[in-house]
Amino acid sequence: MIKVEQISKSFKGNSPVDSAIATSVLNGVSFEIARGDFVAVMGPSGSGKSTLLYSVSGMDRVTEGQVWFDGVSLSEMNEQSLSGFRLNKMGFVFQNAQMLKNLSIFDNLILPGLVAKKEKPQVIRKRAKDLMKRMDIDGLCGRDIREVSGGQLQRASICRAMINNPEVLFLDEPTGALNSEATDQVLDILEDLNGEGMTIMTVTHDLRVALRAKKVIYLRDGAIAGEKELTAGGNREQALDDWLKGV
C-alpha cells in the first residue's frame, strides 16, 4: 500500500550562516506498509520519528527519495493535489488535538467531510453521530473542546480522522498526553479499527502502544536501526522489550 524508497530529509536555517548548512534528519529510509498493517515507529527523541511520519503522509516534502501510495508518487504531486489526496485518503491524529476552539466537538468532526464535498452533508452528519456513539462520546456533540477530558478529546480526534473513510490513519504520539485509563481506551479503539482492516502508522515512545502493533520500526539518527514483526501469542511484551534493548 505504502512504499518508502530511500527517503532523506534535511533542513536549512533562516540566517545567512544557517542557510548554507543543511541539517540531516532522515537518511535513506526504506520500508513498506501493507494494507491492513499496524506499524509503530519508535526511537529516542531527535531520531526523526515525527519527520518520518510527516514525510510518509505527504505533510512534509522529502529532500530525496520517493513515497508511493497505491502506486501514486506523493513526491511528484503539486501542493493542491497532495492536499486533496490527504483529505480524502488519510486521517491524522496528534498528541494534542488540533481542533478549532470556536466550534463544538460535533462541528469539528464534520468539518473535514464538508470541506471534502464527497458526500451530502446529511450523510456526513450521520457518520459523525455513528462514530461518536461507537467511541462512547455521543453525549458530547454540543460541548466546547475545553469542556471535555483529554481522553474524550482524543477519541473525538479519531472520529474526525475517520469522517472521510480514510484508507490509512497516521498518528503522532496519540497517547502522549493521556492517563493510563484513557490510553487503554484509545488503544482498544485503534486495535478494533485495525482488526476491521484499517491501516495504521503511529509514532510513539510508549511500549503499550507498540504492543498493539503488528510491526515496530526503530529509528536512530534518522535511519532504521531495526524492524520487528510482532507475532500473536507468547509473551509479546517480553519479546519486544528484549528486542528494544538490543536494537
In this structure, are 10 and 67 located in the same domain?
yes
Does residue 85 fall inside a structural domain?
Answer: no
> What range defines the domain where residue 181 resides?
2-76+167-246
Task: Supply the DSSP string of 187-230, one letter for each residue.
Answer: HHHHHHHHHTT-EEEEE-S-HHHHTTSSEEEEEETTEEEEEEE-
Please name which of 96, 87, 201 lies closest in space to residue 146, comparing C-alpha atoms.
Answer: 96
Give the pLDDT score at 97.
Answer: 79
CATH code for the domain in which residue 56 is found: 3.40.50.300
Please name which of 171, 160, 168, 173 lies closest in space to residue 85, comparing C-alpha atoms.
Answer: 168
In this structure, are 174 and 121 located in the same domain?
no
Give the pLDDT score at 20.
Answer: 57
Give the end of a domain, one of 111, 139, 165: 165
Give the pLDDT score at 161.
Answer: 96
In this structure, are 234 and 121 located in the same domain?
no
Give the pLDDT score at 17.
Answer: 45
Instruction: Return d(Cα 32, Cα 63) in angstroms, integer.
Output: 19
In this structure, are 72 and 173 located in the same domain?
yes
Does residue 19 fall inside a structural domain?
Answer: yes
Instruction: Return d(Cα 224, Cα 133) in angstroms, integer.
Output: 39
What is the sign of the dihedral through the CA atoms of 80, 61, 165 and 111? negative
Instruction: Return d(Cα 149, Cα 147) in angstroms, integer.
Output: 7
In this structure, are 66 and 184 located in the same domain?
yes
Does residue 31 fall inside a structural domain?
Answer: yes
Give the pLDDT score at 227.
Answer: 97
pLDDT tens for the 247 residues of the chain, in order: 999 999 999 987 665 545 557 789 999 999 999 999 999 999 999 999 999 999 999 999 999 999 999 999 998 999 999 999 999 999 999 988 789 999 999 999 999 999 999 999 999 999 999 999 999 999 999 999 999 999 999 999 999 999 999 999 999 999 988 999 999 999 999 999 999 999 999 999 999 999 999 999 999 999 999 999 998 877 899 999 999 999 9
Does residue 87 fall inside a structural domain?
Answer: no
Q: What type of residue sits at position 123?
A: V
Give the pLDDT score at 42.
Answer: 98
Give the end of a domain, one of 119, 138, 165: 165
In this structure, are 149 and 178 located in the same domain?
no
Task: Supply the DSSP string of 13-61, one letter for each residue.
Answer: -SSTTGGGSEEEEEEEEEEEE-TT-EEEEE-STTSSHHHHHHHHTTSS-
- As given in the structure block, the three cell numbers for residue 37 are 498493517
CB 112 within 8 A of CB 92: no
Does residue 9 fall inside a structural domain?
Answer: yes
Does residue 195 fall inside a structural domain?
Answer: yes
What is the tally of structural domains in the chain? Answer: 2
In this structure, are 176 and 200 located in the same domain?
yes
Give the pLDDT score at 40.
Answer: 98
Give the end of a domain, one of 118, 135, 165: 165
Does residue 94 fall inside a structural domain?
Answer: no
Please name which of 93, 202, 102 lies closest in space to residue 157, comparing C-alpha atoms.
Answer: 93
In this structure, are 154 and 199 located in the same domain?
no
For 100, 101, 105, 140, the CA distances from 147, given in Å and listed in that order, are 13, 11, 10, 9
CB 168 within 8 A of CB 197: no
The radius of gyration of the chain's CA atoms, rounded to the nearest angstrom, is: 18
Give the pLDDT score at 177.
Answer: 86
SS3 129: helix
Give the pLDDT score at 14.
Answer: 61
In this structure, are 121 and 181 located in the same domain?
no
Does residue 105 fall inside a structural domain?
Answer: yes
Angle at 161 between CA 155 and CA 164, to 5 degrees: 135
In this structure, are 154 and 175 located in the same domain?
no
